[in-house]
Structure 1
Amino acid sequence: METIGKGLIIVEDEPLISLMIEDIAHDLGWLVVGSVHTEEDAFRLLGQCQPRVALLDINLGLTTSLAVASSCQDRGIPVIFITGYTARDVPSQCGGAPILAKPFSPCDLERSLKRILTPENSAA
């Protein structure tokens, strides 16, 4: 599959879930340019690459990914939040970013990626 321009990062504190997301993304033709488990490592990764999309778990144990999402937004990187939260529990700071509820299917992730990358959504 074609992966040019299809690099993404994953910020997920649960290693097994992170591996599952990596596998699904790869099967969908995406290149995972980095997968990290903490807010600190996410900022370090963003300093090293310019992904096309960021997949962020909201809750990272003792911290959240909301500051990472803000940094991505400042850099024009679309964000998809992947979370176990219900819709009413999602922090208001998530704004209009798509929310993909765990558990999700490969088709769910593919739909979210297509939705966030449509021209009307990707113009920042």
Structure 2
Amino acid sequence: MIDRKLEGLRILVVEDDFHQAHELKELLTEAGAMVTGPTGRAEQGREMIGHGVDMAVIDINLGRGQDLETARGLREQGIPFVFLTGYDRSAIPSEFQNVRSLGKPASAGEIIGTLAQIIRS
């Protein structure tokens, strides 16, 4: 059983890999979160920000290359987020160097622990 450290949080998931997106949704739900999405399209991710989210987990590459539209929208709204990506830290543009990044594949403990830490800070 997973620790319910994310109880009651509304978390947006933007991930274009179907299996990873749904595994992440299941993990976050089991940890107590209410998941918005998942979506694999930045336009939908940006739109979903307006539905009221507390934080987000987003992939930096959504199939057609780097897509930072959702990240910029989250930053504009002051909503914390973490990148979950297969790229190393050097692939993240300098404007997002202060954003936490987890490499794929990340363990359940890493994902939940990082999100819990971010929301507490």
Q: TM-score, structure 1 length as denominator?
A: 0.84
Output one character per residue of 1:53-92: Cα deviation in whole Å (capped at 9) or x when no partner.
1110000112534221111111121010000001233332
Higher mean C-alpha displacement, 78-87 vs 63-72: 63-72
The 1-side partners of 2:89 and 2:65 are apart by 20
Partner of 1:30: 33
What does 1:7-86 align with in structure 2 at a 5 Å threshold?
7-47=10-50, 49-86=51-88
The alpha-carbon distance between structure 1 residues 56 and 65, as it changes in their structure 2 partners (threshold 3 A), is: farther
The answer to whether residue 108 in structure 2 is matched with residue 106 in structure 1 is yes
The 1-side partners of 2:57 and 2:22 are apart by 13
Unpaired segments ≥5 residues, structure 2:
none
Q: Residue type of the partner of 1:22?
A: K
Over 3 Å off, 4+ runs:
none
Percent of paired sites with the same residue: 26
Q: Following TM superposition, by how much is the alpha carbon of 1:117 offset from its aligned partner in structure 2, in angstroms?
A: 1.2
Higher RCO structure (Cα 8 Å, ≥6 apart): 2
Aligned length: 117
Query: What SS is found at the alignment partner of 1:117?
Result: helix
Q: TM-score, structure 2 length as denominator?
A: 0.86
Unpaired segments ≥5 residues, structure 1:
120-124
